[in-house]
Structure 1
């Protein structure tokens, strides 16, 4: 499947000592992606980012489950359900979430038909039990016949926020709210922008790689947009 990219327009303060993102202008697709991070189970985050990249001890929990031998697992319990949990939120399942893990395909149902076809009406009967007796001729029903399900009619997940003409402000520490002229001016004052001439605009794309960086950085920093798109502070 082709990678879906979303864009954000950054307002950057290039003043010394270090360039920083003042805020970003984002539309529905980018905002839905950012909000979808809230729905991700920690096990999925560890699987995507790698155990060694996790701050704290979550990576150790993940490794412990991986190494746990079958004799210590409860009957009926599946380790993969914890290591790769399914994301159920509609926002996370939208086409703007880059982190969907492949869902297991359901087992194909098997049906059996009469092997003898002594009577033409034998064709009218199928069973899920191999070897069952045909109700018409009494022969065993052994002929394999696979059930072919119809294609599900799915509606694309709509995400969380309204789209259309609505634009959203995303701050460097991922506060998100509807954009307005007043809120933008107030934000410039809040983050102490002193030289308006040093402000620059830059449009950036968010794909799988950038999405992973945003996820990882959001667990470690409060200057996410600056760290991801302008480079982490050294």
Structure 2
């Protein structure tokens, strides 16, 4: 899958039009890799993505406190960006996350460290300018830490491995609460029984696109409700379980 700014993947929703409810979604490996990648996001990155004012609870205020705190009160070598703009290491192949987060310090290959060039044995820090404990010098010579995954990227590419978190040998079922499991005929029937679906004719498949806007909505909704798919793709009423006369699937993308 390409990683250009126009990259989007699709998600197939199974909707009960009578109850105006998303029962579950049929998802590819790329979608599941993206969902699992959300678990790797530091809290500071999540707050930046969703905006501190849009955060539920108090984390937005905590983030704002760091923003507003005068550097006088910080430790001498502390960079606020360590907390406010932490770098995220993403597993190779889970390339939807950098696309959705754009320039929010997502680093899929390496971390930066600094060392003192004059001491022996050498000391290393991940904060530029940290005083060297051996000499009156600062750690300012940059060295690059290469993760085992990044260093073996050539092997991964030539061995046929897909990268990411899950294999693409099956299609996956994503429930409304973002529970993920392999999709099969049996699991589909079990889900329909779970939702007590009596009229199969009322079921409708709707294909929606998952791009940056939808990805951020999924991230935000995951902190607000257990009815994530309904809130993102059918709206607030569906997430609250309110039945409407007409079920109007997500309209901003072609179905």
TM bucket (normalised to shorter chain) is 0.7 to 0.9
Does the C-alpha gap of structure 1 residues 103 and 27 become closer, same or farther in structure 2, counting only changes over 3 Å?
A: closer
Distance in 2 (alpha carbons) for counterparts of 1:66 and 1:3: 32
- 1:38 maps to what in 2? 39
Partner Cα distance (2:55, 2:79) in 1 = 23
**Corresponding position: 1:174 with 2:174:** no
The equivalent residue for 2:194 is 190
The corresponding residue for 2:29 is 28
CA contact (8 A) 1:11 1:201 kept: yes
Q: Spell out the pairing of 1:213-232 with structure 2 (5 A cutoff).
A: 213-232=217-236
Deviates more, 1:190-199 or 1:66-75: 190-199
Q: CA deviation at 1:56?
A: 0.4
| Aligned positions, number | 186
Return closer, same or farther for 1:103/1:216 CA change in 2, 3 Å cut-off: closer
Q: Is the 8 A contact 1:4 1:95 kept in 2?
A: no
Provide the residue aligned with 1:161 in structure 2: 166
Verify: 1:9 aligned to 2:12, yes or no.
yes
Q: 3-state SS of the aligned residue for 2:88?
A: coil
Query: Which residues of structure 1 form unaligned runs of 5+?
Result: 107-151
Secondary structure class of the residue paired with 1:25? strand
Distance 1:57 1:25 in 2: 34
Deviation at 1:103?
Answer: 6.2
The SS at the match of 1:170 is: strand
Cα separation, partners in 2 of 1:181 and 1:63, compared to 1, 3 Å:
same
Answer whether contact 1:10 1:24 (CA < 8 A) is retained.
yes
Query: 1-side partners of 2:88 and 2:106: how far apart?
Result: 10
Tell me whether 1:95 sits opposite 2:99 in the alignment.
no
Name the CA distance, whole Å, in 1 between partners of 2:214 and 2:207: 13
Structure-2 residue corresponding to 1:47 = 48
1:202 aligns with 2:206: yes
Distance across 1 between alignment mates of 2:106 and 2:215:
20
1:133-152 mapped onto 2 (5 Å cutoff): none
Runs of 4+ aligned structure 1 residues displaced above 6 Å come to 103-106
Question: TM-score by structure 2 length?
Answer: 0.67
Whether contact under 8 Å (1:3, 1:208) holds in the other structure is no
Q: TM-score, normalised by structure 1?
A: 0.73
1:149-179 CA-partner distances (Å, limit 9, x unpaired): xxx996578210001x410000011110011
Aligned to 1:64: 65
The runs of 5 or more residues in structure 2 that have no matched partner are 113-149, 241-255
Alpha-carbon RMSD across the aligned residues, in angstroms, is 2.4
Contact 1:21 1:226 in 2 (8 A): yes
Shift of 1:102: 3.9
